[in-house]
Amino acid sequence: MIREQSQHSPPKQHGRVHRAGNRIFKLREPSDRDGRQVAELVKRCPPLDINSLYANLLQCTHFSDTSILAEDGNGKPVGFIPAYRLPALPQTLFVWQVAVAPEVRGIGVGLSMLEALLERLVPRGVRFLETTISPRNAASQALFLKLFSRYRVAFTTRLLFSGNDHFGGKHDDEELYHAGPFFESVTPKTEEKS
Ligand SMILES: CC(C)(COP(=O)(O)OP(=O)(O)OC[C@H]1O[C@@H](n2cnc3c(N)ncnc32)[C@H](O)[C@@H]1OP(=O)(O)O)[C@@H](O)C(=O)NCCC(=O)NCCS
């Protein structure tokens, strides 16, 4: 019997860097080795739903090329965006979550990760971005509206999952934001924050 070697990919170090004052964050594709730390990070980011570690591991392996991780100067993951192309509409990138560690919020890490994802994927044919946001999550709404405005793209919203019907009253509504089209020719400048 031939046993396949487990394929643990080394973290991909290429990618964009986000600078905020004297802090530098590496933005890169996640790998299976990041799964556990990503799970810990998401736990520190309410109101995000906490997935199983297995789901985080799948995000970091099967969806690594459409997802992004930010690590601080010590190599610790402080930001994570799992995302994937819609299976039936691969021009559309669906952003599952945006998680930024509390200690590095407000310095552009979230926005930079989203822009780096678009920088990576628009040349590969992504034209639209979708995500869901709860009406009470003002920070997330402001983050995505800022992204859309910087790329000068239109967006629409509609209810995707109802708090009552889909979540049995145990969760807020999830509104779908659909934005685009994104083109390679439109690339906003990186902002530096201090
Ligand atoms: C929402 C979240 C991802 C933002 O990440 P961040 O790295 O702090 O955001 P940035 O510093 O890149 O901010 C970019 C823009 O988003 C908006 N924004 C971010 N946080 C905000 C807040 N708390 N209140 C209002 N607007 C906010 C602002 O427009 C900001 O631009 P500005 O600073 O020039 O005004 C982060 O607060 C977080 O992880 N929250 C918990 C999890 C969550 O709710 N995730 C989003 C749902 S999927």
Domain count, the chain: 1
- Residue 188 belongs to some domain of the structure: no
Residues in contact with ligand 1 by the CB-under-6-Å rule are 45, 47-48, 97-100, 105-111, 137-140, 142-143, 146
Residue 35: pLDDT over 50: yes
Domain hosting 63: range is: 16-180
- Residue 190 belongs to some domain of the structure: no
Partners of 193 in beta bridges: 20
Residue 172: what residue type?
Answer: D
- Residue 1 belongs to some domain of the structure: no
- Residue 186 belongs to some domain of the structure: no
66-87 average pLDDT score: 97
Predicted pLDDT at 145: 98
Question: Tell me: the pLDDT tens digits for 14-33?
Answer: 578 999 999 999 999 999 99
Q: How does residue 187 score in pLDDT terms, banded at 50, 70 and 90?
A: confident
Assign residue 64 the CATH number of its domain: 3.40.630.30
Predicted pLDDT at 164: 93
Minimum CA distance residue for ligand 1 atom 15: 143
- Residue 8 belongs to some domain of the structure: no
Mean pLDDT of the chain: 91
Residue 82: pLDDT over 80: yes
- Residue 9 belongs to some domain of the structure: no
* Closest-CA residue to 90 (of 56, 46, 125): 125
Predicted pLDDT at 4: 47
Residue 153: what residue type?
Answer: V
* Closest-CA residue to 53 (of 66, 69, 41): 41
The atom of ligand 1 lying closest to the CA of 101 is 39
Cis previous bond, 47, omega within 30: yes
The atom of ligand 1 lying closest to the CA of 113 is 12
Nearest 5°: phi and psi at 134? -75, 140
- Residue 64 belongs to some domain of the structure: yes
Question: Tell me: the pLDDT tens digits for 105-130?
Answer: 999 999 999 999 999 999 999 999 99
* 101 token code pair: 């560690």
| Inter-residue contact 46 to 64 (CB < 8 Å) | no
CA–CA separation, 128 vs 122, rounded Å? 9
- Residue 105 belongs to some domain of the structure: yes
